[in-house]
Chains A and B, each alone.
Chain A
């Protein structure tokens, strides 16, 4: 191990172990597939998803319509491509909210460990944890109306305590390290130590958790859209595609099977990537599991 770290730069070591990790590679490729679908949909889709073509409705998969057509005659393949945008955007922003609000809170709580502030932050976290994300979303939409933005807020709020807890826990163990002590002796303040010494060292953990929360965000967005609280028409969303065809699946199974598979494969991809990243960042865990 010491030879490895002497001879190779750490980053090339990471890439090499990433290429060797099957779960990371499968996950990465699946995720890449859906990100590409979302990006390409901005420039090109096989059929326009805002044009209804009722005579052509509920067609089974064919060469013209790979995944068939839905109740309004829209091409399901195109809708899944455009739907990927919504899923990825909502989940990504929600994770962003969790990181931007949660990590500083967690670092602050760790820096002031044992203080009243620490206690208040942690109890506040517990409180948010007590509300399932769906209930937060229900309350927000009851008052502000349904929509993608409110779905983002609801999922984002639920991400805050996840990152706050993770950052606090990891930071607490780092505050006792010698190099942090050295920084304190050198006269650096708590905020500067948190930013310069703690944060870079918990980045790996945050990336792994971010991947997992990303996949949970995709599931949550689909769930909210399914009950009509998420993205509103005309923009397609995977969850709403399922809801719109809830009574039609026996007649036209493709309307339900393909959007569902899109959700499963994206979530699976992100989870596998998260698992792979954890192994890559911390090889000791691989042995322990």
Chain B
């Protein structure tokens, strides 16, 4: 287990370094002079020079990269050009909206997909299975932002069970926050649950065809017992991969859905920063999201290795 962990941590570090270099190059090197890019065409030369100075742009790219990275380790992400406040503070406020939303959606998606997938597999080719496959096929095709608008129309517009948007903040209480997040989380979760349920079903069907299930049945276990005691556990590995991938889709999806519900999350921060050309905010916010995605992939890999010792050797 230890060599596996060491190798995996090494590749985690490499991915993060590579990702940060890519982000740095695209945002700070490709535009040529970020200062004049941020100020636009009509800026006076001395304003540009002052911004260059305050951003430390006169230093070589390598030094700037190094300072950005080491700064992030110290929790310093630079000062937003438009908000004039540390980017770290801006991001910290927003993360507590986007991350809980993502986790809420991921939980919902898993809770829905798991029983649905098991049910479809257990009743393979029955009308239940066929309708589940039909509904999930449709669910995959539905864009979450459109689904979000339909949910708003029905549950906020017509039924008035939820408010159409806005986030009261966690200060208003945990349940108030959760209630505000429910429609966006459902909008994110259902299309993803469709994918997950199908993966769960096909993975379970594969497992049910294996020899050890036949052995378990021959030993006298009923179909149901064999399913619960042996098949589900073994079917979970591909499902876990998809859950890991879904985190990154949901996180990216969350920044779109937040716009529909007027949530003060990472999404509104990033899109505002883009329109205001606040590259300092874009750079660190994108890095943080990529960091979250890479970290989750890492955690999924480690979880596998704990669940299935064979994988510790196989992967390099």
Contact = CB atoms under 8 A, between A and B. Distances in A.
Interface of A: 123, 126-127, 130-135, 138-143, 215, 219, 222-223, 226-228, 239, 242, 246, 249-250, 253, 256, 260, 263-265, 267-268, 271-272, 288-289
Interface of B: 11, 14-15, 18-19, 22-23, 26-27, 30-31, 37, 137-138, 140-143, 145-146, 149-150, 152-153, 157, 202, 205-206, 209, 248-249, 251-253, 255-256, 259-260, 270-271, 273-274, 277, 279, 282, 286, 289-290, 293-294, 297
15 contacts: A123-B11, A127-B22, A132-B252, A133-B252, A134-B253, A134-B256, A139-B23, A223-B143, A249-B157, A253-B153, A260-B149, A263-B146, A264-B142, A264-B143, A268-B138
A223 B256 contact: yes
Contacts of A132: 248-249, 251-252, 289, 293
Nearest to B140: A271
Contact of B145 (A131, A226, A250): A226
A215 B195 CA distance: 14
Contacts of B22: 127, 131
Contacts of B286: 135, 138-139
Contacts of B290: 130-131, 135
B157 A289 contact: no
A250 B294 CA distance: 40
Residue among B14, B37, B140 with the most chain A CB within 10 A? Answer: B140
A263 B147 CA distance: 11
B282 A242 contact: no
A138 B143 contact: no
Contacts of A130: 15, 19, 248, 290, 293-294, 297
Nearest to B297: A130
Contacts of B152: 249
Contact of A131 (B19, B206, B209, B270): B19
Contacts of B141: 215, 263-265, 267-268, 271
Nearest to A259: B146
A268 B142 CA distance: 8
Contacts, number: 116
A253 B150 CA distance: 9
Contacts of B14: 123
Contact of B149 (A135, A256, A264): A256
Contacts of B26: 139-140, 143
B180 to A, nearest CB: 18
A134 B252 contact: yes
Contacts of B145: 223, 226, 242
Nearest to A269: B141
A137 B293 CA distance: 16
Contact of B150 (A138, A260, A272): A260
A139 B205 CA distance: 41
Nearest to A145: B274
A132 B184 CA distance: 19
B205 A289 contact: yes
Nearest to A263: B143
Contact of B271 (A227, A263, A268): A227
Nearest to B29: A143
A73 B205 CA distance: 52
Contacts of B209: 288
A248 to B, nearest CB: 10
B288 to A, nearest CB: 11
Contacts of B137: 268, 271-272
A136 B273 CA distance: 15
Contacts of B294: 130
A146 to B, nearest CB: 9
Nearest to B142: A264
Nearest to B164: A250
Contact of A142 (B18, B140, B282): B282
A226 B282 CA distance: 19
Contact of B146 (A134, A242, A265): A242
B146 A138 contact: no
A134 B27 contact: no
Nearest to A264: B141
A242 B270 CA distance: 21
A157 to B, nearest CB: 11
A260 B140 contact: no
Contacts of B282: 138-139, 142
A272 B157 CA distance: 33
A114 B153 CA distance: 54
A119 to B, nearest CB: 8
Contacts of B157: 249-250
A253 B31 CA distance: 42
Nearest to A272: B137
A225 to B, nearest CB: 10
A260 B146 contact: yes
B31 A289 contact: no
